[in-house]
Amino acid sequence: MTHSPSARQGRPRHATAPDGQARASARLRPWWVAAALVVLLGSLLAGLLTGAADIPVPGVVLQAVDWLPFVSADHGLTPVEQGVLVELRLPRVLIAAVVGGLLAVAGAGYQGVFRNPLADPYLLGAAAGAGLTVTLAIVLIGGDAGAALVPPMAFGGAVGGVFLAYALGHTARRGGTATLVLAGVAVTSFLTSIQTFVQQLKVEELQRIYAWILGDVGGGWEDLRLVAPYAAFAAVAMLLHGRMLDVLSVGDDEAVSLGVRATRVRLAVLLAASLATAAAVAVSGLIAFVGIVVPHLVRRLAGGSYRVVLPLSLIGGAAFLVLADLVARTMLAPAELPIGVVTAFVGAPFFVFVLRVTRRVDT
Amino acid sequence: MSMISVSGLTVTLDGRDVLRGVDLDVRRGGWLAMIGPNGAGKSTLLRTLAGVLDGQGEILIDGTPSAGLSPRRRARLVAFAPQTPALPPDMTVFDYALLGRTPYIRYLGRESRADREVTAGVLDRLDLGGFAARRLGHLSGGERQRVVIARALVQQAPVLLLDEPTTALDLGHQQQVLELVDRLRLADRLTVLSSLHDLSLAGQYADTMTLIAGGATVASGPPAQVLTEELIAAHFGATVKVAAGPDGRPHVHLMRGDR
């Protein structure tokens, strides 16, 4: 073909040579995972070290080492210091990690389903849908029963929000990466307005709702226990679909001609991503842009295959939100910024950047 | 023995009958070229055969009704290269070709060593071995078309559906791609169905041709029977001169209108 005859005789064996094949194929390299885990552990430790109470650094580090299985260390912390660490800081960094990981992996999933790098749980209306239904649970049902209903209500709302945005974007029939996001913004505004209306009906719950809307990861162990099963299920379901999302990336027609029921894959990933979003939203409120920033950075660093993007987004998102929470806690100390303010401050400019990059590819 | 047999196929899209009672028959190892004016329904026919669209009527693939096949089973029989394939720019040539193994992998499974070997073998055979690590976004038009064909071959299906495989290629690359398909067809006894807008080129490579116009089969048979001045004038609205080439195959020459 384009090779000269002599080149054809000395036919390159790259594809068949094992090392060449490893380079040619996007696979999750162990050192990427290791690097991401190091970053995550570093940010978790930084999160544990920072706070209003002055706890000695070596003590925290030794305590963290002591928590590791099969290792014990003498941390020398007072019971009060230990209490702050175990009851306040540890659950807080863990919730931030879980929420960040879920939002990032959900963002990556939505991006695969819609083949749209701008898809994000917040921008797609998933978060607003969950916000509305959770508000309804708090306002209309209230009390312990309402609190217990938060996770399923958030899930229903998240799925509903995404389907609304998708249906709206679909009827616009313009395709394009921006249409879906515009539809998501419209759905978000609409659902948020209903939510505002509902919360005004019951002003006495206002503070509770607001604290939740602005995003907060200080819920403690109870919150963590509440979402853990949903989070674990959603994350595993997402990670299992990496190969299928890669098949979808060549378009529906080809996916179908390759024997894949594209609609079914879409639906499965959509539900898993919405469950992840709902689990995140149920404990932390509405936090935007994690789902765009993290998967996009992963793509730039490690390639576009969803088998790589999904697991690294999970770990990277966890680290990202722990660090965002760290900034939120320390910027105006002793006062706290809502964590959503930090992610939006970083994420919105990033969104514009991704928009510019994808425009170039689109045209 | 016919590999693909279609009778009375009707496909309705958005309330419009795009295909109306199409019949066709391709023998095992044959090459059928579909020609016809724009919008005649060629792509629709190929997409229906690939299982992307549903239609009424009967499609037999190697004697089995297509409607009764699961998508995976069908994908092991029929490989499809669309006219404008979506090529994720960051995906490597190897990973793209490897997607052809999809019909052999369980829903949540992963590729086996054998799948990777088949893929590497096909890339080598198409002289794409050196491109394995190249990203799709960095390929030329001719390379891209070969990579799409590689993906279809990795599927190891006895039927190859090609929708306008030479679009956007220059003359030399058109010839290279069609020669490649013909070589593979003869070596592997593949059955090829392609739409081709270049009538002379279609007449050169296909052993049978079908002219589709307005969603229906207008003429079928060996190239000399389908590529006639009358049929082309009637269905393409073009004034042409058809002359037999040195190999006896018809060549179509476009004539300028009366002056």
Q: What is the ipTM of this complex?
A: 0.88
Q: Looking at chain A, how many residues does it have? A: 363
Q: Mean pLDDT, to the nearest integer, of B222-248? A: 89
CB contact under 8 A, A259 and B72: yes
CB-CB contact of B147 with B97 (8 Å): yes
Band (B245; pLDDT cuts 50, 70, 90): confident
Least confident of A98-112, A221-235, B96-110: A221-235
* Two tokens, residue A20: 């060449």
Q: What percent of chain B has pLDDT over 70?
A: 99
> Would you say residue A8 has pLDDT above 50?
no
> Would you say residue B98 has pLDDT above 90?
yes
Which residues in A lie closer than 8 A to residue B180 (C-beta atoms)? 1
Amino acid at B19: L
Q: According to the model, what pLDDT value does residue A362 have?
A: 45
CB contact under 8 A, B108 and A251: no
Band (A22; pLDDT cuts 50, 70, 90): low
CB-CB contact of A215 with A286 (8 Å): yes
Residues facing residue B7 across a β-bridge: B58
Q: According to the model, what pLDDT value does residue A174 have?
A: 57
Burial of A190 (0-12, 13-18, 19+ CB in 10 A): middle
- Could you read off the pLDDT of A184-233 as tens digits, one per residue? 888 988 998 998 888 887 777 676 666 666 656 666 788 888 889 989 99
> Would you say residue A325 has pLDDT above 50?
yes
Burial of A359 (0-12, 13-18, 19+ CB in 10 A): exposed
- Could you read off the pLDDT of A114-153 as tens digits, one per residue? 888 888 888 788 888 988 888 888 787 776 776 777 778 8
Residue of A nearest to B180 (CA): A1
CB contact under 8 A, A25 and B116: yes
Highest CATH level, class, for B2-254? alpha beta
Residue of B nearest to A238 (CA): B108
> Would you say residue A158 has pLDDT above 80?
yes
CB contact under 8 A, B93 and A2: no
Element (H, E) at B120: helix B113-125
Q: Mean pLDDT, to the nearest integer, of A255-267? A: 90
Q: According to the model, what pLDDT value does residue A210 have?
A: 67
Residue of B nearest to A303 (CA): B90
Residues facing residue A295 across a β-bridge: none
- Could you read off the pLDDT of A94-105 as tens digits, one per residue? 999 999 999 999
For tokens 């579909």, the residue is: B34
Band (A173; pLDDT cuts 50, 70, 90): low
Q: Mean pLDDT, to the nearest integer, of B41-62? A: 92
- B36 Rama class: left (phi>0) / alpha (psi -120 to 50) / beta: left
Residue among B82, B111, B129 minimizing CB distance to A11:
B129
Band (A308; pLDDT cuts 50, 70, 90): very high
Q: According to the model, what pLDDT value does residue A151 have?
A: 74
CB contact under 8 A, B129 and A299: no
> Would you say residue B91 has pLDDT above 60?
yes
Q: What secondary structure does DSSP assign to A313-339, as a single string?
A: HHHHHHHHHHHHHHHHHHTTTTS---H
- Could you read off the pLDDT of A263-291 as tens digits, one per residue? 888 889 988 998 898 888 888 877 888 99
d(CA A213, CA B259): 77
* Two tokens, residue B215: 């969603």
d(CA A314, CA A319): 9
- Could you read off the pLDDT of B172-229 as tens digits, one per residue? 888 888 999 999 999 999 999 999 989 989 999 999 999 999 899 999 999 999 999 9
Q: What percent of chain A has pLDDT over 90?
A: 26
Domain boundaries, chain A: 78-362
B153 close contact with A: CB closer than 8 A: no
> Would you say residue A42 has pLDDT above 90?
yes
- Could you read off the pLDDT of B55-85 as tens digits, one per residue? 999 999 999 999 889 999 999 999 999 988 8
With b for 16 or more beta-carbon neighbours within 10 A and e for fewer, the B9-35 pattern comes to bbbeeeeeebbbebebbbeebbbbbbb
> Would you say residue A6 has pLDDT above 50?
no
Which residues in A lie closer than 8 A to residue B100 (C-beta atoms)? 258
Best of B96, B127, B184 to disrupt the A interface by mutation (most A CBs within 10 Å)? B127
Instruction: Tell me yes or no: is domain A78-362 CATH 1.10.3470.10.
Output: yes
Residue among B74, B86, B117 minimizing CB distance to A259:
B74
Domain boundaries, chain B: 2-254
Q: According to the model, what pLDDT value does residue A272 have?
A: 93
> Would you say residue B162 has pLDDT above 90?
yes
Residue among B98, B103, B142 minimizing CB distance to A259:
B103
